[in-house]
Amino acid sequence: MWPYWFMFLYAALPSLLVRPRRKLRADGSRSISPDTIWLMTLFFLALLVGLRYQVGGDWGGYERYYLRATYSSFWDALYSPDPGYELINLLSAKLGFGIAGVNLISGAIFSAGVLFFCRSLPRPWLALAVAVPYLVIVVGMGYTRQAVALGLIMFGFLAISRKRYISFVLWVCVAATFHKTAVLLIPIAALTTTTNRYLIGLIVIVIGGLAYKVLLEDALDNLIVNYIDSEYQSSGAFIRLTMNVVPAGIFLVFRKRFPMPVSEMKLWKLMSWIAVGTFLAFFVTSASTALDRIALYVIPLQLVVFAHLPDVLGRRVGLNREIVVSIVAYYTVVLFVWLNYAVHSRYWIPYSINF
């Protein structure tokens, strides 16, 4: 399991040493342009996620996607339930790259979304350290389709922070070609807009309706059966929902101390309430699998809150190393417990690479 610890320490150690980014753009956001180190980080993270072999609980299911692509046509893929993912499989099959090619392309998209999102935060290395234990290792290496969807949605979140609400909707629509549940996030654009509210609301309704009709309507019954009516209870759902509700509570209590534009503030306030809602719903419904999958889209909230927290609770101009150490220690425990005691972690151990 040493590759997982390497990934975590690679981000955690710089987070203890690097000062927060203070320079802001005119709109209050930060530049996400990567330097050489972050480009190298993107390259290696994409390789680690993409070249894994028989790692992740859904590995067998994704192999079946690839085998189906070997005898499918372009039109078969385009009209399939998950056209984005099917087209990647088809491309890899036609080029002879195998499932490694599928995972490498998917891993690159996911990794880019995560790293550019981290770059938008005041402490990018701390955000990446927060991301590694669950977002990168469990989601990125286990739920390939939803990982790609989440990577694309993180680009969408960046668009909202820059008041590009229609761009967010388009990112979500592309994400939904990999995992249909992404469509559920489209209303966020209307709920967080601060300008041209009625025009953007109308556009969101139109695009959202079309996206629902094209992407979700035919699959809705299957989603209900798989995620709600099923008696299967998502193992560890309570823990993962708790991991979201903790930063949600911090944000809702201290949100006035978070230095961010109004549009971004509205976004993370809404995501915080979603985290609280899914947590409370766990106790009154039997749909833990559905709640668990919805909660995956809330994970970026953890990165946002903990990347700001040292400066929210500590001195604005200081390293605030004690707070950073506490956050890193918390996620060290998360990674240790998951690797050693999680029910399904055996599907991730040992890490094997595909050559």
pLDDT digits (tens, 9 = 90+) for 69-94: 888 888 888 888 889 999 999 999 99
Query: Phi then psi for 52, rounded to 5 degrees?
Result: -65, 155
pLDDT above 50: residue 113: yes
Say if residue 45's pLDDT is above 80: yes
Torsion (CA) 282, 286, 290, 292 in degrees, nearest 10: 40
Is residue 172 within 8 Å of residue 203, measured between CB atoms? no
Mean pLDDT of 170-186: 88
Query: In the prediction, which pLDDT does 189 show?
Result: 73
What is d(CA 211, CA 47) in angstroms, rounded to the nearest whole number? 32
Q: Name, in order, each residue with C-beta under 8 angstroms of 332's C-beta and a sequence gap of 6 or more.
A: 8, 12
The band of 28, judged by pLDDT with boundaries at 50, 70 and 90, is: low
| Residue 229 scores a pLDDT above 70 | no
Q: How many helices (H) and strands (E) does the chain have?
A: 18, 0
- Range from 109-123, 199-213, 269-283 that averages highest in pLDDT: 109-123
Q: Is the pLDDT of residue 236 over 90?
A: no
The H or E element containing residue 291 is helix 288-296
Per-residue pLDDT at 6 exceeds 90? yes
- pLDDT tens-digit readout, 217-227: 454 445 434 44
Q: Are the beta carbons of 23 and 148 closer than 8 angstroms? A: no
* Interatomic CA distance for residues 95 and 274, integer angstroms: 42
**Burial label, 3 (beta-carbon count in 10 A; 0-12, 13-18, 19+):** middle
Domain boundaries along the sequence of the chain: 1-14+35-142+321-334+346-355, 230-313
Contact (CB, 8 A) for 319 and 14: no
Token readout for 159 is 């668009």
- Single out the residue of 259, 337, 309, 326 nearest to residue 16, CA to CA: 326
Q: Which residues contact 114 (CB under 8 A, 6 or more apart)?
A: 45, 128, 131, 135, 136, 140, 151, 154
pLDDT for the residue numbered 57: 82
Closest C-alpha to 304, from 158, 159, 203, 202:
158
Q: Which of 33-47, 73-87, 194-208 has the highest mean pLDDT?
A: 33-47
